[in-house]
Amino acid sequence: MGRRVNVPEAPKRIISLVPSQTELLYDLGLEAEVVGITKFCIHPQHWRKEKTIVGGTKQVHFDIIESLQPDLIIGNKEENEEGFIQELASNYPVWMSDITTLNDALDMIECIGELTQREREAEGIVVDILSVFSELEEPSETKTAVYLIWKNPYMAVGQETFISEMLIKSGFENLVKEARYPEIALEELKEFNPQVLLLSSEPFPFKEEHVLDFKAKLPDTDVKIVDGEMFSWYGSRLKKSPAYFKSF
């Protein structure tokens, strides 16, 4: 975002605006330092009762944030809206991640470790993630796939996204060549005729009824619901993703 973020001392009042980075803060041992999270920050579960909810990832309550007097706010360029981030940045130190690759995620973990003076813990998480990803074997064959994240309209995962990189690592070829998250019509989906159609559990909560509906429309395609956290959360949850990919 072209900004310099000044955090002169170890932050004592942190607000996280991104669920996967909230979980990372917990795993870095920042139980006491985190004071505010979003309504979508579901891990760790007990923080939903113990921490102040400041809003969502697209809209926040400025009065609640002001009452918390944060000395560091952590967000993400894709998850959060630029308008409210700019407004917050005029009053507080706001550090933003920008993640499209696994290396970006590892850099983010190390940067947050440095910001919060948890370098040793962050390095341990990075080492663990690298170790489990190194155990992923090259698939004997790559299956073509389309990964849907939304309904009405259907939206797919395209190129230049973190999920697309996770698809590659789990043995799929992403047939959607547009960047980011393009809308996709049913007819276009039929033309793609993917070997596998992956329906994410988030942000739209696809269910078995949707699987049955797609199977009727795409009889030659294997339709599966997948755990969206394993494909899209780029914090410490990455330690669990390779095992999920293997079982999947």
96 located within any domain: yes
Q: Are 83 and 154 part of one and the same domain?
A: no
CATH of the domain at 77: 3.40.50.1980
What does the alpha-carbon distance between residue 118 and residue 213 come to, in Å, rounded to a whole number? 47
Domain boundary among 84, 99, 133: 133
Average pLDDT over every residue of 182-207: 96
Kindly report, residue by residue over 21-76, the tens digit of the pLDDT: 999 999 999 999 999 999 999 999 999 999 999 999 999 999 999 999 999 999 99
**In this predicted model, what pLDDT tens digit does every residue of 204-232 receive, in sequence order?**
999 999 999 999 999 999 999 999 999 99
Residue 2 lies in a domain: no
pTM for this one?
0.93
The answer to the question of residue 200 being in a domain is yes
The band of 8, judged by pLDDT with boundaries at 50, 70 and 90, is confident
Model pLDDT for residues 82-122, shown as the tens digit of each residue? 999 999 999 999 999 999 999 999 999 999 999 999 999 99
